[in-house]
Structure 1
Amino acid sequence: MEESELRWLFTRLATRDATERSLALAEIEVTGGELVPNGSPNGTGDGMRIGSNDHCADGTLIESALSKNVTSTRFLAHILRLAIQCPFSDVRERCKAVLQGVKEQGGKIPRQCGTGPSSFIPNSEIQGVENGADEQVREIFTDVFVQSQRLDHLTAVMGLHPQYLAAFCRTQDFMLRGNGPLPYDYRNYIAILTAARHRCSYVMGLQESEFLSQGGDREWLQGLEHVPPKIQDLYELIKLLSHRPWLITQELIEKLLKGPHNWTLSELVQACVLISHFTSLPSFIYGCGINPEIDMDGGHTLRPPSLTDESGLSNNNKPNEESAGGNVEELVQKMKNIEKQSDTEDSQEEKVKKFEKVREQSGKLLPRSPGSCGEREDITPFVQDPSFLYEDFARRGENSQFQTFRAQDYTWEDQGYSLVNRYYPDVSQLMDDKLGVAYNMTYNTMGHKKQVDTSLLRRAIWNYIHSLYGIRHDDYDYGEINELLDRQLKTYIKTIACYPDRTTKHDYDSFWLDFKHSEKVHVNVMVLEARIQASLLYCLRAIMRYMT
């Protein structure tokens, strides 16, 4: 088998047709080929292909490979991934048997690094294909696996909120595989370039794999210098949307639409949607401590397990109760106090002063220095101007040279939705549904307390995220943010929203000590969606100004 045939084999395993799966499983264990090194031609370190010229006596792929001591660790990592994550029990059991056969014949089999999809959240908290996923989650997991041939860690963690996961999957699937003016390989490559701005090798790895499966040119994966000028021209927009979207101007839009390698309006709107999505996704990835996929670099190892691996998540960074903010009882009482004061309303001038105060205080929240995030060494070819990062919209003690984005002047509901729907039909409704789920999602619980109206807290988090990007809601009392969001939570939100690759487990542990993990993941969902909305509003407004 060539590499394309190997990909086809895994595709056949990702089908609801049990008969087809059975035939594909037979090819994993019994075939006339052998595993031989191939120098990793696709640059992913596979180091193997399946050849079909040399036939061994008994015709088994595993024994043939073992006899020559060339069994591919990467190939076995794929088998391990299926043995753990595949929603189809027949595939899981057969893959476990293959791995056991390799082990019994003296071969080295890889094991998963870490204890599950997240390095922040105990595996026992996350629903899996074998540990009690409810029917709704199991169905979503199966759909994701059939569509992409894997049940990725992002999906597993997002499964803590099934309603949002369903909306997220529908939207992302349409962006990458549905109708639209951009070729499929362009979509994946834009995702790769955007994820690289936040050094998110996790998203890059998944998108590179899909890029190749869509027939993408392998040479493009060597970096920006190897792609068509049209994509190179888009990079300035990617850079600005990723870090400082308020710098996007109608002049930049005009340059893209009228340049020598011009984009059409429909193509540009789709590109803006993709960039906004994939520049925000690292906030969720890093904020939840998503581990590499089993078949990725860093996702498997041949080393024996250590005591740390066996004991699960380390608590070395866990803060003491005195330093961790967000006590449930205290927050509930603050929300009650705010509701009692709702009859009195500040003047517009006073509301602006409170907004400026929140923004000034945010400037004092400094993220940690960049740490070791397990990032790829070959990320540099995809990044230009790496020193261009997020800067506070208005620095402390300075008047901003940029005008605050008044949310009422250009809204998603009144202008953004219709503009996207005009040039990129169907995705606008999917995005609107996903946004609505994220904004309104509640289980009416906070920690151990039930029957709690969480709307004030959710709105404070959402509007705080927007304030980091210079967006002000005229009808909101920004004093509520300082009442409801403690310093630890603000620092965490600013870190994952603006510098996601600097997020540590200490940051995750430092807020809401007595809240559930699912509630912390809920915060990450809101950061993801509010960030998407902020980016989209800036670029869509610039497009509208160009058009008028």
Structure 2
Amino acid sequence: MIICTNKMEYPLRAQCHRGQNPCQKQVVNDERERVSLLFMKALVSRSSVDAVSQQMATHPQYLESFLRTQHYILHMDGPLPLPHRHYIAIMAAAQHHCNYLVHLHSAQFLRVGGDLLWLQDLQAAPARLRLLDQINKALAHQPWLTSCAHIQALLKSREQCWSLAELVQAVVILAHCHSLCSFVFGSDPESNSASLSKSPNGTPPNYCPFDAANGNTNVPQSLTPPRELVTQRRSLDPSNDMTCLKERIQRSQEEFEKRDERLMQTQTLQQTDLEEEEEVLCFTDSSCFITDPDFCYQEFARRDEDHFQVFRVQDYSWEDHGFSLINRLYSDIGHLLDDRFRSVVTLPSLHSPDLRRAIWNYTHCVLGIRYDDYDYGEVNHLLERNYKLYIKAVACFPDVTKASVCPLSWTSIKASERIHVNLLIMEARLQAELLYSLRAITQFMIL
């Protein structure tokens, strides 16, 4: 893996090279084939494609990287049990009242064997999960507050203590879901309304939206057709052996009637299960997972406290510090995250490299992170006031209850360009939260 010293140098070189590529048409065709393949896998495995993936699909190169990371942290081998991962995702999404993600992960939580009682409120969850509440709300609203004390409280809590590997995976899930709330809100401020409260995009509540690109075609039991139905469908296949067909024809009418009756009973039970689960999720209120509703984003630049110093990338960067640490504590996740960061800034786009860098650096700026080698006068030059207000709203308080603070009009901007802006904000926020948490872990380790 090549690690560059400047976050934007690599993307800029790659973009220039792409513009001179004589096979650009072939690149476009390849990307269309890639997104078609992703959608095909999703349709085969779940018979639907979720709303978030549909938005990201305008940039298939990025979508593939996103899906791979999502699948890895939520479904692949790791120190945390699967129900705990989805519950942590619920806690993260609830901080921004993102009903879409809360309901999505509530369904996934039940699908992988989670305890229904935990969905009543945060107090119903195990004590070790509740311990994440402090670092969860800090990363979500004021990431600069994340400190060594948060790490120490989790790793030295006696019977409920976390291992370092578990904590790193939990932090990645928290940061991932916080930033995804930003994308959901930025893509459609109304997307957290009641229209999505039952299940995303009309899909069944046990639908897993983000693992389609990873070959995960395990259909949930409730979506698996009964064996009798499969047998009947196969009997219509002309390629079947004639002998088998004759044997089926000779079956008695009484046997068919009994089979049809069993099939109807099975389908009725399955439909009842789905309706009951949807009803449970419909009444899952995101606020029940929030312990401090008054804790919210504050202007970092206007804080008077001297002990909240600006996070300088020259002192602790993703390339020089964060990547190696996280990859050592949580195998391979560093490579997957790094691929996401590189992918989003190298996407073919009408946005100039300078504008992309301004969006990225301004997102970091409102979260307390600064680059000493960047002229922030470029931000004022490239981003008009409404643009900056939009970036701050999406990055810092992506909450449907604050939709009025999202003033940017997209009428003159192509959908793919709008989505690219939201992806840049999302990934910049993700990296910012990771930098704060990994720096705190580093400080704890050297004590």
Answer whether TM exceeds 0.5 for this pair.
Answer: yes
Q: Give the alignment partner of residue 187 of structure 1, picking from 82, 85, 92.
A: 85
After superposing the two structures, state which structure 1 stretch, 146-155 or 499-508, moved more.
Answer: 499-508
User: What TM-score do the two structures reach when normalised by structure 2?
Assistant: 0.70
Which residue pairs with 1:404 in the alignment? 310
Letter of the 2:348 partner, please give it.
Answer: T
Q: CA deviation at 1:200?
A: 0.2
Which residue pairs with 1:382 in the alignment? 289
Aligned length: 334
2:156 corresponds to 1:258: yes
Check the 8 A contact 1:495/1:502 in 2, yes or no. no
Distance 1:248 1:299, change over 3 A: closer
Distance 1:202 1:299, change over 3 A: closer
Q: CA deviation at 1:394?
A: 2.7
Q: CA deviation at 1:259?
A: 0.5
1:441-480 deviations in Å (ceiling 9; x for gaps) = 233x25xxxxxxx110000010000000110011101000
Which residue pairs with 2:33 in the alignment? 135
Q: Give the alignment partner of residue 413 of structure 1, picking from 295, 300, 319.
A: 319
Which residue pairs with 2:168 in the alignment? 269
Letter of the 2:133 partner, please give it.
Answer: Y
2:375 corresponds to 1:477: yes
CA distance in 2 between partners of 1:195 and 1:239 (Å): 10
CA distance in 2 between partners of 1:209 and 1:227 (Å): 16
Q: Give the alignment partner of residue 147 of structure 2, picking from 249, 252, 256.
A: 249
Q: Give the alignment partner of residue 501 of structure 1, picking from 376, 383, 399.
A: 399
1:51-105 deviations in Å (ceiling 9; x for gaps) = xxxxxxxxxxxxxxxxxxxxxxxxxxxxxxxxxxxxxxxxxxxxxxxxxxxxxxx
Which residue pairs with 1:17 in the alignment? none
CA distance in 2 between partners of 1:299 and 1:210 (Å): 12
2:122 corresponds to 1:221: no
Q: Give the alignment partner of residue 438 of structure 1, picking from 341, 344, 348.
A: 344
Check the 8 A contact 2:90/2:101 in 1, yes or no. yes
Unaligned runs of 5+ in 1: 1-132, 302-374, 447-453
Check the 8 A contact 1:291/1:299 in 2, yes or no. no
TM alignment of 1:127-526, pairs within 5 A? 134-146=32-44, 150-260=48-158, 261-289=160-188, 291=191, 296-297=197-198, 378-395=285-302, 398=304, 401-443=307-349, 445=350, 454-502=352-400, 510-511=408-409, 513-526=411-424
Check the 8 A contact 2:148/2:440 in 1, yes or no. yes
Identity of matched residues, %: 44
CA distance in 2 between partners of 1:500 and 1:428 (Å): 26
Check the 8 A contact 1:286/1:503 in 2, yes or no. no
Q: CA deviation at 1:145?
A: 4.3
CA distance in 1 between partners of 2:35 and 2:433 (Å): 30
Distance 1:377 1:169, change over 3 A: closer
CA distance in 2 between partners of 1:481 and 1:187 (Å): 37
Distance 1:384 1:505, change over 3 A: closer
Check the 8 A contact 1:284/1:528 in 2, yes or no. yes
Distance 1:300 1:211, change over 3 A: closer
Q: CA deviation at 1:299?
A: 7.2
Letter of the 1:459 partner, please give it.
Answer: R
* Root-mean-square deviation over aligned CA pairs: 2.5
Letter of the 1:481 partner, please give it.
Answer: V
Letter of the 1:473 partner, please give it.
Answer: Y
TM alignment of 1:109-128, pairs within 5 A? none
Q: CA deviation at 1:294?
A: 7.4
Letter of the 1:257 partner, please give it.
Answer: L
Distance 1:409 1:490, change over 3 A: same
Which protein is richer in helix relative to its size? 2
CA distance in 1 between partners of 2:110 and 2:344 (Å): 32
CA distance in 2 between partners of 1:156 and 1:502 (Å): 20
State the SS of the aligned residue for 1:385: coil
After superposing the two structures, state which structure 1 stretch, 398-407 or 145-154, moved more.
Answer: 145-154
Letter of the 2:330 partner, please give it.
Answer: Y
Q: CA deviation at 1:506?
A: 7.5
Check the 8 A contact 2:360/2:425 in 1, yes or no. yes
User: What TM-score do the two structures reach when normalised by structure 1?
Assistant: 0.58
Unaligned runs of 5+ in 2: 1-30, 203-281
Q: CA deviation at 1:142?
A: 2.7
